[in-house]
Structure 1
């Protein structure tokens, strides 16, 4: 299958590399230095204990998605509309578009731009960039996708590439569960520039996280969303299973980039205000992270 990845960051590069090593024709749209390294050497897929170069095509232009059977849309939530407008001229009604993004409304926003359905995807993977053309995998890698006429094709493509996929009738709830996890960890990791395992050792941090989560669950309920599973149990487990992982928000700030915090804690604050639900902890985490963005801008 011909597959394009719009947004060749850590998440896009990991899944693009896994699909390319399974034999698919993969094009990654990214920054010039990154594209140059991939076209020269291949994409270095680094599992820690082992490394391998995977043959992919790099491109700096959104036109690189032309002819793709499937697009993994992996740009930051802040760039969804602009990037969607860039790829729109190059896709057809039959192109399978997957939104592998943080937040809960990207698939809807992207579908509005493209004028066709977009499959929402919940991503559970720990990755980071080790430099141009170098993606590091730190753990996990499973995906949860929403049901559609194309879902089986997605499963049949990704599972043989060793990418676990679950089709869920409550993908919206799963997206909220992932966002709540991000609301608990991302800002704290970003503000302190510490990995999850060290963040949770801070005085009072578990209480702060619990308050943030309770606010998120109240807002979810107000939105009519059923959040599946043991949300707090999953949050506790993250510190155990990914102790060395920095949040994507922390990685953005470390690189001097704007973060997605407006679509995480900021989203909870906005929705809470609409519903008349107080969200003081999420408000504080959002405000402090925005101050950190000002420092690195």
Structure 2
């Protein structure tokens, strides 16, 4: 096992889960927290998981990035709506020539990171994880959990499998986290959107869990139509998503435990939605290539209305 030092920027349902797994496996992990800081500093992290429950009674908890040590790998697990904070949070924590591992949804996320910090390497991670934060410092892992890792390069040119990716993958695999390495990060991001756009978007617009969307013939048809449009968006950027991949995402969701998506949770809690990173960026990427995605555009406009009204 490597001796890399990890930082978690955003200790929520995703960052808290993966960071806790890494520490539980013996790695040196440092957690940046906000509202949960005092609870976690005093009592640690509680993980309920389908793979086995565990508690970390002591963790390296911080509420100020300037007080954190410089780390070899900084995991960005904030919601993208909080990325305006990254110019203050990232530079103090990342070592020169370190790795920023971006575990966020959407398109062009790594490009934002590259504009904030230089002399670093950026890896994108696509998480297929069903988890919720059920209390301060208390995370419940319901299903799945594997991550696809891809190296970022200028204009998202396919970089292949790098040694950096492999080293980080080894750390995660030693912590019991399934990892897939991808040679093409842009393709992997479009593939994640095959799930994220229909289920996150429709869960808010239709007030429904994933199982409800799949059980009704009309909403299942709508899910499939949106997935086909995501594939058309990917094709506009030179990436091909196979029909078999779309079928795999449908099959995954049918087998998944009833799940309230992260966007639906944010909506119910009256938090801002990640509409731009997940849906807006996808639309703009396709439109720049001359491709219009009408169903996704309709979903985007509905979500922007609901988000705006919810924030009032």
Fold shared by both chains (TM-score > 0.5): yes
Q: 1:87 to 1:195 in 2, by over 3 A?
A: same
1:23 aligned counterpart, secondary structure: coil
**Equivalent in the alignment of 1:129:** 133
Deviations 1:80-121 (Å, cap 9, x if unpaired)? 353144221332223222111101321222122111321111
Distance in 2, matches of 1:228 and 1:170, equals: 15
Q: 1:226 to 1:106 in 2, by over 3 A?
A: same
Structure 1: runs of 5+ lacking an equivalent: none
Cα distance, 1:131 vs structure 2: 1.2
Which shows bigger deviation, 222-231 or 106-115?
Answer: 222-231
Is 1:26 the counterpart of 2:29? The answer is yes
Is 1:223 the counterpart of 2:226? The answer is no
1:13 aligned counterpart, secondary structure: helix
**Equivalent in the alignment of 1:209:** 223
Which shows bigger deviation, 114-123 or 234-243?
Answer: 234-243
Quick check: 2:214–2:254 contact (8 Å CA) kept in 1? no
Which shows bigger deviation, 82-91 or 129-138?
Answer: 82-91
Pairing of 1:24-103 with structure 2 (within 5 A): 24-32=27-35, 34-47=36-49, 51-54=53-56, 55-103=58-106
2:121 aligned counterpart, secondary structure: coil
Is 1:270 the counterpart of 2:284? The answer is yes
Deviations 1:103-145 (Å, cap 9, x if unpaired)? 1321222122111321111111111100111111011111111
1:180 aligned counterpart, secondary structure: helix
TM-score, normalised to structure 2, is 0.88
Pairing of 1:249-264 with structure 2 (within 5 A): 249-264=263-278
Is 1:14 the counterpart of 2:28? The answer is no
Match of 2:149 among 145, 149, 156: 145
Distance in 2, matches of 1:100 and 1:24, equals: 18
Cα distance, 1:275 vs structure 2: 2.5
Quick check: 1:4–1:71 contact (8 Å CA) kept in 2? yes
Quick check: 1:195–1:243 contact (8 Å CA) kept in 2? no
Quick check: 1:249–1:259 contact (8 Å CA) kept in 2? yes
Distance in 2, matches of 1:39 and 1:126, equals: 25
Q: 1:124 to 1:84 in 2, by over 3 A?
A: farther
TM-score, normalised to structure 1, is 0.92
Q: 1:49 to 1:223 in 2, by over 3 A?
A: closer
Quick check: 2:231–2:240 contact (8 Å CA) kept in 1? no
**Equivalent in the alignment of 1:235:** 249
Quick check: 2:130–2:144 contact (8 Å CA) kept in 1? yes
Deviations 1:198-238 (Å, cap 9, x if unpaired)? 12234511222222122221121111123367232122123
Distance in 1, matches of 2:60 and 2:23, equals: 10
Aligned residues: 296
Match of 1:117 among 117, 121, 136: 121
Structure 2: runs of 5+ lacking an equivalent: 151-160
CA RMSD of aligned residues (A): 2.0
Distance in 2, matches of 1:18 and 1:31, equals: 20
Cα distance, 1:270 vs structure 2: 1.8
Cα distance, 1:44 vs structure 2: 0.6
